[in-house]
Structure 1
Amino acid sequence: MTRDFDPAGDGAQMDFDGRMSYGDYLRLDRILDAQAVRTTAHDEMLFIIQHQTSELWMKLAIHELSAARAAIARDDLAPAMKMLARVSRIFEQLNNAWDVLRTMTPADYTHFRRELGQSSGFQSWQYRMIEYVLGNRNHAMLKPHEHRPEVLAKLAAELATPSLYDEVLRLAQRRGVVMPEAVLTRDVRETHRFDDAVVEAWAGVYRAPEAHWQLYELAEKLVDFEDYFRRWRFNHVTTVERVIGFKRGTGGTGGVSYLKRMLEVELFPELWRVRTSL
């Protein structure tokens, strides 16, 4: 009979009295104690973990997007490319998570939906931070966070900072691709609006990628990311429609109708339209 393998015989540390363990480093006691179900409904645990893990991935996305923006601002594109590629993979993970949540049926959800009160995903301050970093700067969405001054301060600070796309357009200008002065000097607290002259500037990059390789590659990294981001929004809509139909959201929004409106938002509009002009 084969004896069970003892890792200690191969040098593995097995005694953690006074030493850093896996659980200590990751603070797993705090994470695994954070699932406070309010009902006996079996699927409530799924619902909580789905949203908690999404918030963890969004925390990492903010970390990466902020660092990528800072790298672009200092003309350090190599790490920025890596960070943007990582954010795309993060949103691939977020997309895959909808497949798990869709195993919850409408009947399953009704057993605990009432316990959500007025809470809703659109109140996620980290999601709002991602939108602000990317340039969708809807000031009306500050309102749900007014009861938390520390969160409101973070979002307000982000609104006063050039968005990721703002920094990309400024980089293009520094690299000799002329961008409209009105775009470069606009109030960064407001959402960037589509500009034909920006399309034409990007068209010059796309017509001669060998002359602007880093800008061309950066532009495609942004398109790649927005592709995943759009899929995430679409999967959100279809999951909500599958589970609650066209009921109003718990936070008072129109539910599916509200989410479908969000599908129309373009983060980097000129990078999508430039394809038509080539």
Structure 2
Amino acid sequence: MGQERHTTIAADKPGAPRLSFGPADTPYAAYAHIDTLHRLQEPRSGVSAEMSFIVTTQVMELLFGLLEYEWTQARQELRADDVPGAIAALRRGLHVQDVLVTSWDLLATLTPVEFNAFRDQLGEASGFQSAAYRRLEFLIGNKSEPMLRPHAGVPKAHAELSAALRTPSLYDEALALLHRRGLPIPEASLDRDWTSPYDPSEDVERAWQTVYGPGTEHRDLADLAEVLLDVAERVTRWRQRHYASVKRAMGAKPGTAGSSGLGWLRRAMDQDVFPELWSARTGI
């Protein structure tokens, strides 16, 4: 009774929020499908840590989708020669990347005993099967046609990934922009097989060095380069945290889907994103 009286008094005050709604969900729950979100966690074991594992995985998937949205917007702006628009989208994405990196903290206390207690429930499930994450990898140029195979039985996901594989990456569009601005980007970097991984070029490295040169002609492109490097650095941080989290929870055991586990993650961790933006610094 005391709580009901408090609610009624609060609702009668000027400026107080409306507290009475219809028989269905509150507008908040209906707008963001909150009840649906909270019904999506279905632990298969009695291990408390499994709930944290599932929620963290689902949060990461939502953030993958948001980051894809921002990176796709940035790529469109680059195609339209809108450097400020591309930088704005990439900067919004940086905040998403930061949250993704720190989201590993939710699993930082997962001990090997706790993980092993529910690991069998995963079966062959593995994060590398995430279609959303794979689209992000394709967006930054880490192309690999074999990575479409896990989704062969899911037509929508396979079609989206196939389209992403065959579309120029963020970095490809940045190099095309540099070319349109008169910088000497080689033809091999502009007209190539978009399904193949990017092959670094000394000519591209020199073009980025020109962007960083004295004068104001390319200042906006230098700003773009720095934001792209911010993106690349956060991708590396994500991979490092992933590696460390797996090493902590399961050591050098094979991955659930049969990968080499740490070996697979280490190779990804050591791979530079937007390589000439890193190598160009040596000659600046």
TM-score range, shorter chain: over 0.9
What do the CA deviations read for 1:167-197 (whole angstroms, capped 9, x no partner)? 1001111112121011111122222111011
Alpha-carbon offset, residue 8 of structure 1 = 4.5
CA contact under 8 A between 1:8 and 1:14: conserved in structure 2? no
2:100 to 91, 94, 97: 94
Provide the TM-score with structure 1 as the length reference: 0.96
Q: Over aligned residues, Cα RMSD in angstroms?
A: 1.6
Provide the TM-score with structure 2 as the length reference: 0.94
| Structure 1 residue 6 corresponds to structure 2 residue 35 | no
After superposition, where does 1:1-278 map in structure 2 within 5 Å?
4=6, 6-9=10-13, 10-17=15-22, 21-208=27-214, 210-278=216-284
CA contact under 8 A between 2:184 and 2:203: conserved in structure 1? no
- Alignment partner of 1:69: what SS? helix
Q: Distance in 2 between matches of 1:190 and 1:263?
A: 19
Alpha-carbon offset, residue 164 of structure 1 = 0.7
Query: How many percent identity over aligned positions?
Result: 38
Task: Please identify runs of 4+ aligned residues in structure 1 that moved more than 4 A.
Answer: none
What do the CA deviations read for 1:111-167 (whole angstroms, capped 9, x no partner)? 111000000001111110001111110111111111111101001111221111111
Structure 2 gap ranges (5+): none
- Alignment partner of 2:216: what SS? helix
| Number of equivalenced pairs | 277
CA contact under 8 A between 1:219 and 1:271: conserved in structure 2? yes
- Alignment partner of 1:56: what SS? helix
- Alignment partner of 1:207: what SS? coil
Structure 1 gap ranges (5+): none
What do the CA deviations read for 1:29-78 (whole angstroms, capped 9, x no partner)? 11110001101111110000010000000000000000110011001122
What do the CA deviations read for 1:213-237 (whole angstroms, capped 9, x no partner)? 1110001101011111101100100
Alpha-carbon offset, residue 110 of structure 1 = 1.3
Q: Distance in 2 between matches of 1:99 and 1:31?
A: 21
Q: 1:13 is matched by which residue type in structure 2?
A: R
CA 1:133 to 1:8, structure 2 compared with 1: closer, same or farther past 3 Å? farther
